[in-house]
Structure 1
């Protein structure tokens, strides 16, 4: 009887153990089903759960946040300025259609404008000197191609003036009321001209960038200084709006880069096609360029 009792107890214990094991397995299976269901639900609504869990910013630590400010201060300043100008844009009252455009550069140069208006001879002198500077730009840019065989600056100027013509015609800005013209200014003869963007400034930037590539540092510094004086004169005479001059700087940099890519692409294409090309001993931006004389 004791043996039967012992056997029954063992049998009951074994059955209980199997039941507990089955229940645990059932619980695990149920948890897996719930987890799979949750994952499927997150996927069904666009996968935001997975996306947020693997997002780059979710891995940031506090030192990473402070590191952004420490190692990237300029983008952080730009981010702050973005928020500032968003506020300005939503609160600033627009200029009435009947009023002249608001230009901060014009306000800053009011004393110079009055001085040049009162002294026409001085205005003519400055205009003549500016035209000489334009001739210097033109001579340098053409000389890099015709004399030195380096086409990048010339191609850049061609790109720049072509797009200036398109944009200048597409949006024609009114000539400021207090514009001070001169017969010796460029375009010579006080003829009509496109305001947006400034070809004077853009060409100066193109020439200066080429000088820096060729390590003609002194010449580049002279051109940059003359370009600053040119900007001040154009604002003082109302020959350009501030935005024309600012975009002119960007246009010079942009089209110089575009011309560099163009020259590099054409050079590689010529080499790949086995075209006999005579190369200059100098390099332009680290890439040999095709000279005028090709076989």
Structure 2
């Protein structure tokens, strides 16, 4: 449904990826699906950002729009200082070597007829970065860089081990350590409570927030906060007024979209009875 963002702090001389007001709607016979509806985030050089949410909450659509595998309905995407949202395929081609999307299911994203070496070599060929012996050496170096033996280049993807619905808005953004230690938004609290911990005793004793009800349809998202139909803390304001993603006191880039979280960061506990 909605999504939470975690990030690892890093020096931010400039943003290598800046997404502003990203919107992606899909229109079909049944109506308009609001897969992504006004997402903004910025990633600095050396920074790692995790976009977290339930299946179908819009994470993959954000990623596809960010690398222009899909064209946004509205908003902008800037990579290394260049706005790429409206570029033609021809203009995008020389930029493709600088940004990539790694799909989570290798069995469906890698050509089963090609060897691993051929798959790694393909972008180098397409961008005319290497050929002949230099290409083979580069492929071997890239495999070694990720811990794969050179002989694996002759194998096919199936010979290697494997390593529904985004209502399209961000609800919380914070440095990873802060978010895991003190989630503010009820949705973030519910997500983190679902993650198991490697201690059976602690796992049995920890509070679990079980969300009731079904994900609302992105064809007809609810008014107000898009999480209110399943939020155990929702009040009347949540049902009518969409909360804005706003910064909290203290800086650090922490933002939350919830009427119940105070500006100083005081937040309700969704696991409390």
What is the TM-score when the length of structure 2 is the normalising length?
A: 0.19
Structure having the higher Rg: 1
More helix as a share of residues: 1
What is the TM-score when the length of structure 1 is the normalising length?
A: 0.18
Q: Which one scores higher on RCO, CA 8 angstroms, separation ≥ 6?
A: 2
